[in-house]
Amino acid sequence: MTDRLENAASRRLACAGCGNEFGCNLSGPCWCSDETFRLPMPVDGSDCLCPDCLRKLASQRAGTGAA
């Protein structure tokens, strides 16, 4: 049986932080897999954060000592 995600195309998401559109690749590693800062996947139906918002949040949390 073939996994449907293997054949899924890149999709466009709206950032949960700023609303800007960005791409997410479900058929391979997403851009966020290369980031050192991780957040849990959204479970409330919202989209992920765009690269800029994820990096801003990482920087803010690093400044407070929390990761």
pLDDT(3) > 50: no
pLDDT in tens, 6-17: 445 678 889 989
Pairwise CA distance, residues 24 & 10, whole Å: 6
Q: What is the pTM of this model?
A: 0.68
Half-sphere exposure of 8 (CA within 13 A, CB side): 15
Half-sphere exposure of 48 (CA within 13 A, CB side): 21
Q: Provide the residue ranges of all domains of the chain, joining segments of one domain with +.
A: 4-64
Of residues 49, 42, 58, the one with CA closest to residue 21: 49
pLDDT at 24: 85
| Averaged pLDDT for residues 38-66 | 83
